[in-house]
Structure formats: C-alpha cells, structure tokens
Amino acid sequence: MPSTPVILRLRSQPDNLHLGLMLALTFSTGVADAVGYLGLDKVFTGNMTGNVVILGMAIAGADDLPVVGPLIALFTFMVGAAIGGRVLRRVKSGWTTESTMLFGTVGVVMAALAIVLFAVGGTPPAPFDLMVTGLLAAVMGLQAAVARHIAVKDVTTVVVTSTITGFAADSRFGGGKNQPWFRRLAAIVLILAGAGVGALLLMVHIGWGIALTAIITLTVTAIGHAAGRPHHAPQV
C-alpha cells in the first residue's frame, strides 16, 4: 500500500514526530497517575518517585497513607521496565517494530482494564483494586522503558522533575540560553493537563480515565508504526 502524503510528511521529520508522540504519552501518564492517586488509594502508577515518598512517610507512621499499594506499584513497574529493557536490549535506538509491539501491549492492557472497570461498575473492591494498580504500574514501566529506548531528550513520558530542573537551570535567569524550552515546557504542561483531565474523568467513572490512556497509547502506536520507524525507498 503506498504511503499517504501525511505519512510521508511525518516520516520526513522523525525527530519532531517522536517528540510529538512522546508528549502525547506524557499527557496520558498524567491521566493515569490521577486515576491511581485519586481512584486507587493514593498510589501513583507512573511516578515512582511519588510512591517512594509515600511509602517512606507511611513506614514512618503517617496517618492514612498506604503501604501495600505503593509496594505493588514499585515492584510491577520495575517488572514492566525490565521486560521492555530485555526486549529492546539488542535493538537499535529509535522507533522499531519492537516498539510498536510493546506500546501496543500497553494500549491493549489499558483497554482491557477499562472494560473490566466499566463491567464491575467502578473501582473493584480489595484486593482486586491492587490487581488493577499492579497492572497499570506494570504497563507504565513498560512504556517508560520503550520511551527511554526511543530516546527523545527531556521527555521520559513518566516524570518531569529532571525536565523542570533543566528548564529552570538553563533559563535566562539561570544564566543559560538556547535551551529546548518548547519540549520541556510542553512536557510539564501536558502532564499537568493530563492529571487535571484524569481528575475530572474520575468524577464520571474511573474507567474513562483508563479508556482515554488506552486510546492515546494505541493511537501513538499506530502513528509510530506507520511513520516513526526507519523506512527505505523501494528498489526500482
């Protein structure tokens, strides 16, 4: 099938394409973290720094902070990241067929979770809510590993602390100049906006936030597979 003009245009600027796709996933991470923290007992599914801090405070005896949820999220996130790392270990950096397969897995798992949440009418009771937390964290770890392999500078899709640091340190006030301000500011704003959208969707149903992340992830997967992988001109 011949490539469409849109695909050809996207394919001609792979760096910008990859940046746009990773920024879209950054937004979806904000949605997923809002669902995890507000809908699944104060657990982050993508921001593991937040879980480590929550876990430390809970162990110290702070009231109303979970221990089991953050532990499960940390463990399954690492499992997902390890799977991604193993699959991509010998694969060239950038978008590859393996990237499509792994991102597709993330989207399908999220879609399945959304269907389950709609079927049960909302957040499942304990301990099944921990299963949802674990699966969400696992696919977010997988996403983070693939994003790391695609290697878009300053956009990890799951955290923005280092991005904020770079944005401030390289600003004019910080004595810097010519920083990649657009991608840094976009990542910060998008994860913020995603969290806000996720919180709003929770007011309707917990499944809508997960469904939105699934739609975004599968769309990113389709576009990345069509235009983000290296392509060679056909021989004549």
pLDDT beyond 80 at 3: no
The string over 96-130, giving b where at least 16 C-beta atoms fall within 10 Å of a residue's C-beta and e elsewhere, is: bebbbebbbbbbebbbebbebbeeeeebbeeeebb
pLDDT of amino acid 125: 86
- Reported as a single tens digit per residue, the pLDDT across 70-110 is 999 999 999 999 999 999 998 988 899 999 999 999 999 99
Tokens of 165: 């640091």
pTM > 0.75: yes or no:
yes
Does a structural domain hold residue 13? no
Does a structural domain hold residue 166? no
Does a structural domain hold residue 9? no
Q: How far is CA 13 from CA 8, 17, 134, 179, in A?
A: 9, 6, 36, 20
Closest CA to 157 of 167, 165, 147, 142: 147
- Reported as a single tens digit per residue, the pLDDT across 209-219 is 999 999 999 99
Boundaries of domain holding 61: 30-151+209-228
Distance separating alpha carbons of residues 98 and 31, to the nearest angstrom: 25
Does a structural domain hold residue 52? yes
pLDDT beyond 60 at 231: no
Residue 149 pLDDT grade (very low, low, confident, very high; cuts 50, 70, 90): very high
Contacting residues for 133 by C-beta, under 8 A, at least 6 apart = 36, 40, 41, 43, 45, 69, 72, 73
Does a structural domain hold residue 157? no
Please state at what angle helix 128-150 crosses helix 97-120, rounded to 10 degrees.
160
Does a structural domain hold residue 223? yes
Does a structural domain hold residue 163? no
To the nearest whole percent, how much of the chain has pLDDT over 90? 71
Count structural domains, the chain.
1
Q: What is the mean pLDDT of residues 118-135?
A: 91
Distance separating alpha carbons of residues 184 and 162, to the nearest angstrom: 10
Does a structural domain hold residue 202? no
Q: What is the DSSP letter of 149?
A: H
Nearest-Å Rg of the Cα atoms of the chain is 18
Which of 129-133, 158-162, 196-200 is the least confident region?
158-162
- Reported as a single tens digit per residue, the pLDDT across 168-190 is 998 888 887 778 889 999 999 99
Tokens of 120: 């049960």
pLDDT beyond 70 at 233: no
